[in-house]
A = this chain, B = another copy of it.
Amino acid sequence: MLRIGVIGYGYWGPNVVRNFSTANGSEVTMVCDMNQQTLKKVKKVYPQINVTDNIDELIKSPDVDAIAIATPVFTHHDLAKKVLEAGKSVFIEKPFTYTVAEAEDLVELAAKKNLKLMVDHTFLYTGAVRKIRQLIDDGILGNLYYFDSSRVNLGLFQHDVNVVWDLAPHDISIMDYVIGEKPQAVVATGIGHFGRGLEDVAYLTFYYDHNIIAHINVNWLSPVKVRTTLIGGEKKMLVWNDLEPDEKIKIYDKGVQVKTKEGKYNLLVDYRSGDMWAPKVDSTEALKLMAEKFVDYVENGGTIVNDGIAGLNNIKMLEAANKSLTNKGGMVYI
């Protein structure tokens, strides 16, 4: 039984505590938060969990084997560093850190200490993303043409980061996982409306080798919630609508073949339009699967899709995207 200490019980922390409590192989033994009211709430729901407002108490507790960090991104590096130095493995919220340098520091330290780092890229453990990856791996889609994701909604405005840092880590982690290649460069545009210097609407384009392009549309100011990703492939095309309760993934037997012969006006375009197919998608809660994977990773090692390196790549892309955003759309190599 891996005993987990959790730092931070704000927006996402309760989900972390709930899942590490119910996952096979783990239990939550201590929760730390600066807010006394919050700690009382923990106690009410989980009388058996110890609470503290002292981070060091949690980190050093002999009842805590590994630590989950669910605090604002600015605190990630320092907290994770302390934990690693105390000889404990870390499960950490996305985004991993606020700079590439911080992420590299943690990856290096974990390696040196032979400890584990897992970044909470929850979507990688959803049935939908696992199915998409499998479809691509199995060659069902053929060579990829593009990845186009929209993640828009009203709110939740963050205090300290823009919409790219808040929402794009999801899309970038998914894109990174399902495309299976590294982008060469990014162009980002966007705008903020409330005089805080923080963008609330942004558009990211990633250029890959092999004529693949990825686009991410993130927006805190949309009246409607959209969570849709289009993936175009040579053989098949796919639409993932995460808001559909039942048919999240639809695969279209649609495509196009273009043959130019003897001059531009002899373009031959062959369209193919066949059946659509919505495979059953596993609906197990992703965070629970991930919690169990974390236990296995800490106890038995092996490889995971959301280790420190994956987190570091995510931050590299975020940092590059934000650099381009500051330049209003100049290309930034990654």
Q: Point out residues on A near B: beta carbons under 8 Å.
A: 47, 145-146, 148, 152, 154-155, 157, 159-160, 185, 187, 189-196, 201, 203, 205, 207, 211-213, 215, 217, 219-225, 230, 232, 237-239, 243, 245-247, 250, 252-254, 256, 258, 260, 264-265, 267, 269, 271, 273-280, 324, 327-331
- Shortest beta-carbon distance, A49 to chain B, in Å? 13
A237, closest chain B residue (CB)? B223
Copies of this chain, complex-wide, total 4
Residues of B close to A327: CB separation below 8 A: 331
Cβ–Cβ contact B328 & A185, under 8 A: yes
Contact A222/B237 with A213-B191, A267-B159, A331-B328 known, Cβ cut-off 8 Å = yes
Contact A191/B154 with A159-B264, A280-B273 known, Cβ cut-off 8 Å = no
Residues of B close to A247: CB separation below 8 A: 276
Cβ–Cβ contact B185 & A187, under 8 A: no
Cβ–Cβ contact A154 & B273, under 8 A: yes
Which among B194, B217, B222 is the interface contact of A217 at CB below 8 angstroms?
Answer: B217
- Shortest beta-carbon distance, A240 to chain B, in Å? 11
Cβ–Cβ contact A278 & B277, under 8 A: yes
Which among B152, B221, B243, B330 is the interface contact of A329 at CB below 8 angstroms?
Answer: B330
Which secondary structure dominates where chain A touches chain B? Answer: strand
Cβ–Cβ contact A159 & B265, under 8 A: yes
Cβ–Cβ contact B230 & A223, under 8 A: yes
Cβ–Cβ contact B237 & A232, under 8 A: no
Cβ–Cβ contact B194 & A258, under 8 A: yes
Residues of B close to A246: CB separation below 8 A: 224-225, 276
Residues of B close to A47: CB separation below 8 A: 47
Cβ–Cβ contact A256 & B154, under 8 A: yes
Cβ–Cβ contact A187 & B329, under 8 A: yes
Cβ–Cβ contact A280 & B274, under 8 A: yes
Q: What are some 11 contacts across the A-B interface (CB < 8 A)?
A: A146-B201, A155-B271, A159-B264, A187-B329, A201-B232, A203-B215, A215-B217, A225-B245, A243-B245, A276-B277, A329-B329
Cβ–Cβ contact B213 & A221, under 8 A: no
Cβ–Cβ contact B194 & A213, under 8 A: no
Contact A157/B277 with A191-B211, A252-B223, A328-B187 known, Cβ cut-off 8 Å = no
Residues of B close to A196: CB separation below 8 A: 258, 260
Known: A146-B221, A160-B265, A225-B245. 19 other contacts (CB 8 A): A148-B201, A154-B254, A159-B267, A185-B328, A187-B187, A187-B189, A189-B213, A194-B258, A194-B260, A220-B256, A222-B232, A223-B230, A223-B232, A223-B238, A223-B254, A273-B280, A275-B280, A329-B331, A330-B330
